[in-house]
């Protein structure tokens, strides 16, 4: 059997042993409902309170600023709708975001546009980033919300969140950041970063799927999306996912404790991959080259289809992605790569390798050895590549 080399950690991660260990008691012995008054319920409630304190402390927040959700998508939806409607109540109908947000943000914004909001999508240009000045220039008297991701899930750019947060604070505009790719991967502190709202998801930092949290700063109004019981201080109804929440707290604790070590390890593996794969002729690294997640590699290879590349790599045990898991299955190139100004033909030939601290040097050596062979094979059977080589079409990269 081919050994599995998992380099799709931006899509999801394996759970850590510590996270699994932290969750098991709450699946069996401590199964109480935290809203119950009896002992079994109250023990669960204590665990919930402890997890909230832990998560809060790990991002520089206060416990009552943390709202547990079903994951990053729900947190994004709630933050954006909440801030939009709070703005509307004051006659503000303008929102600022970027062209390369996750679909949980973009699709929520599209819905709000249908409801009468106006959204400015800042261009990310070929360098794969935006500046705080661009945000400042886009702010208007009727701007209700700025929502800009902390780090991009496809191309790995880390955005200037602290500076954008400062601009928003000065202009008194609510600032939300989708930090799903950042929390547990790079240093995040809600106070130093000047953010009002922040979304995170456990399964991106070795916690379980189906659980995440929304940070909402004291004084920033928060509306609930889900009606029902009084859980999460009446902002998110539904019996709490205690096991998932405790596992998330353990996973985040482990990630933050080992942050420096993991970042160094991943960045070294990343740079080895980039330098190895850049030797492939007519290839290109996408995203910000300097301000970049330690675990992200995203490259385009001219003349081939990303999907064929993925299937052949999978046959060699390499689990990668062509961009976002949400766009795979459709043949459209990713909106992220198009937002960087890449032509359709080039954007089609993309490969995202996203690392975690579980990856090894041997795995990276294997990838660097195998990808060029597969690219060469696909080019040998590609009519597009033939036309490029004959000079019938100009090379674009
Ligand atoms: C994965 C991801 C999400 C969605 O999180 P879920 O917990 O899967 O709903 C949102 N934003 C970004 C940037 C992501 O990478």
- Reported as a single tens digit per residue, the pLDDT across 343-380 is 888 888 899 999 999 999 999 999 999 999 999 999 99
Buried/exposed 237-270: b ≥16 CB within 10 Å, e otherwise: eeebbbbbbbbbbbbbbbbbeebeebbebbbebb
| CB 388 less than 6 A from any atom of ligand 1 | no
User: Residue 180: its pLDDT value, please?
Assistant: 98
Instruction: Please indicate whether residue 347 or residue 222 has the higher confidence score (pLDDT).
Output: 222
**Beta carbon of 181 within 6 Å of any ligand 1 atom:** yes
At 321-339, the pLDDT tens digits run 986 544 444 567 888 988 8
CB-ligand 1 contact for 153 (6 Å cutoff): yes
CA distance 96 to 87: 13
State the average pLDDT for the chain. Answer: 95
pTM (predicted TM-score): 0.96
Q: Are strands 212-216 and 66-69 parallel, antiparallel or unpaired?
A: antiparallel
Regarding the beta carbon of 71 and ligand 1, being less than 6 Å apart is answered yes
pLDDT of 69: 98
- If one residue of 76, 154, 159, 180 were mutated to test the ligand 1 pocket, choosing by the most ligand atoms within 8 A of its CB, it would be 180
Which residue has the CA at smallest separation from atom 5 of ligand 1? 72
Q: Which atom of ligand 1 is nearest to the CA of 204?
A: 1
Q: Is 326 labeled as catalytic in the residue annotation? A: yes
| Ligand 1 mutation pick, 74, 105, 204, max ligand atoms within 8 A of CB | 204
Q: Of 1-5, 105-109, 126-130, 239-243, which range is least confident?
A: 1-5
pLDDT, tens digit, 9 for 90 and up, residues 156-189:
999 999 999 999 999 999 999 999 999 999 999 9
Residue 31, burial from CB neighbour count under 10 angstroms (0-12, 13-18, 19+): middle
Question: CA torsion angle for 334, 336, 337, 340 (degrees, to 10)?
Answer: 150
pLDDT for the residue numbered 343? 85
State the distance from the centre of ligand 1 to the C-alpha of 198, rounded, in angstroms: 12
What value does the mean pLDDT take over residues 220-237?
94
Burial of 90 (0-12, 13-18, 19+ CB in 10 A): exposed
Report the alpha-carbon distance of residue 389 to residue 218 in Å, rounded. Answer: 60
| Nearest atom (ligand 1) to Cα of 212 | 7
DSSP letter, residue 281: T
């Amino acid at each position: 059997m081919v050994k599995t080399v998992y380099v799709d950690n931006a899509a999801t991660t394996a759970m850590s042993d510590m996270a699994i260990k932290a969750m098991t008691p709450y699946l069996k012995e401590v199964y109480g409902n935290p809203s119950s008054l009896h002992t079994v319920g109250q023990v669960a409630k204590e665990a919930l309170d402890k997890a909230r304190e832990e998560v809060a402390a790990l991002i520089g927040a206060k416990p009552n600023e943390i709202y547990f959700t079903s994951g990053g998508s729900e947190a994004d939806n709630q933050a954006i709708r909440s801030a939009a409607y709070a703005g509307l109540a004051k006659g503000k109908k303008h929102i600022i975001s970027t062209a390369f947000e996750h679909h949980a943000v973009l699709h929520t914004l599209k819905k709000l546009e249908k409801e009468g909001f106006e959204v400015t999508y800042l261009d990310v240009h070929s360098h794969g980033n935006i500046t705080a000045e661009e945000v400042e220039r886009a702010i208007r008297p009727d701007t209700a919300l700025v929502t800009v991701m902390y780090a991009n899930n496809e191309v790995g750019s880390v955005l200037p969140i602290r500076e954008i947060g400062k601009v928003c604070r000065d202009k008194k505009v609510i600032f939300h950041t989708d930090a799903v790719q950042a929390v547990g991967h790079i240093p995040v502190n809600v106070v130093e970063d000047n953010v009002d709202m922040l979304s995170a998801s456990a399964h991106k930092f070795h916690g379980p799927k189906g659980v995440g949290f929304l940070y909402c700063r004291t004084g920033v109004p928060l509306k609930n999306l889900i009606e029902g019981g009084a859980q999460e201080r009446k902002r998110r109804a539904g019996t709490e996912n205690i096991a998932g929440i405790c596992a998330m707290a353990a996973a985040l604790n482990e990630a933050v404790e080992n942050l420096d070590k993991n970042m160094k390890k991943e960045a070294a593996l990343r740079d080895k991959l980039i330098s190895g794969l850049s030797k492939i002729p007519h290839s290109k690294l996408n995203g910000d080259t300097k301000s970049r997640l330690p675990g992200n590699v995203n490259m385009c290879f001219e003349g081939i289809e990303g999907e064929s590349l993925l299937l052949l790599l999978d046959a060699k045990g390499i689990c990668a992605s062509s961009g976002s898991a949400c766009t795979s299955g459709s043949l459209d190139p990713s909106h992220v790569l198009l937002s960087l100004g890449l032509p359709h033909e080039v954007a089609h030939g993309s490969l995202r390798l996203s690392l975690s601290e579980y990856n090894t040097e041997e795995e990276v050596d294997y990838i660097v050895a195998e990808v060029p062979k597969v690219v060469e094979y696909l080019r040998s059977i590609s009519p597009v590549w033939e036309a490029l080589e004959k000079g019938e079409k100009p090379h674009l990269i």
